[in-house]
Structure 1
Amino acid sequence: MKTNKFILALMLLISFSFYAQGPKKEKVKALKVAYLTNNLSLTATEAEKFWPIYNAYDAKQFELRHEKMKMIKDKLDSESVDNLTDKQASAMIVQIESVEDDLYQNRKKFMASLKTVLSPVKILKLKKAEDDFNKTLLRQYKNKGKRD
């Protein structure tokens, strides 16, 4: 039990240093790590192998979603869609498809890596835990807007 707590604390510290990009992001990341850890019931050996794989995957997904897609969205914001030529619009669609394909390929590699570390049941638990965490986070965000 002490080993699990030590690993959790170590993973939280690694996560904080890896994602030191603002207090809200750190808080959400810490909550997500705790939520996943609680829901997956990882052994010490599993956790030791799982978290580096997960953190690398998560960082790449973040980069793709927030940096590459942001460039596309910024371009859309700066130019009215109605003013784009078909050629410009087609080029942007190709860029969007490329980023979406990169996200999919990253997820596929992640799943393949997980198969060497976790049982199929724990991989499904991870998927469910991620979905549940995201739903809970979105619900809290929506409810916060209603109170303001």
Structure 2
Amino acid sequence: MKNILIPIIALLLSVSAYAQKPNKEKMKALKVAHITEELDLTAKEAQAFWPIYNAHEEANDKLIKNSDLKRLENIDGITEDEAKAHLDKIVQMEISRQKIQKEYYSKLSAVLSSKKILKLMNTERSFRRKMIKEFKERHRGDKSKRQ
């Protein structure tokens, strides 16, 4: 029953998300459905996994939200000291991100096998590729309507 129900839910979520512009909640729901379908977690694994996963996502979001990094539009227009300061901020953010990742994998290894953690990493990558592909296809469709 579980094997039939999950793909149906994922399909319904993807159809409803495709019909409207994607927002953060819809993307999250699609990602959760994708991960659930691909990982095939036991009930015990799922109960332990999702709080860890959600805390990790929240920590990453918080890191990005609290970052004061801005994209530099005119690199030629800044001083060497400003460039160095910007690079230092990038390095510090990456160090923070790596600490979050290390803690995340440590916690995951207590509840999932290493193979399932690797499968999770591949699943997240495949989800990103899928969303980028859908965005490009949708964007291409918008361009043809404008012409």
TM over 0.5: yes
TM-score, normalised on structure 2?
A: 0.77
Distance apart, 1:83 and its partner CA: 2.4
State the secondary structure of the residue aligned to 2:69: helix
Q: Say if 2:134 is the partner of 1:140.
A: yes
Q: What runs of 5+ residues in structure 2 fail to find an aligned partner?
A: 6-21, 143-147
Q: Say if 2:81 is the partner of 1:87.
A: yes
Deviations 1:97-145 (A, max 9, x none): 1111111111111111110000111111101110100100111111111
Distance apart, 1:53 and its partner CA: 0.4
Query: Could you tell me which amino acid in structure 1 is paired with residue 25 of structure 2?
Result: E
4+ residue runs of structure 1 moved beyond 4 angstroms?
none
- Partner Cα separation in structure 2 for residue 93 and residue 49 of structure 1: 38
Query: Could you tell me which amino acid in structure 2 is paired with residue 57 of structure 1?
Result: H
1:17-28 paired onto structure 2 within 5 Å:
24-28=23-27
Q: What runs of 5+ residues in structure 1 fail to find an aligned partner?
A: 6-22
- Partner Cα separation in structure 1 for residue 123 and residue 82 of structure 2: 40
Aligned length: 125
Distance apart, 1:60 and its partner CA: 1.2
TM-score, normalised on structure 1?
A: 0.77
Distance apart, 1:65 and its partner CA: 3.1
Based on CA coordinates, which of the two structures has the bigger radius of gyration? 2
State the secondary structure of the residue aligned to 1:129: helix
Distance apart, 1:66 and its partner CA: 4.5
Distance apart, 1:43 and its partner CA: 0.9
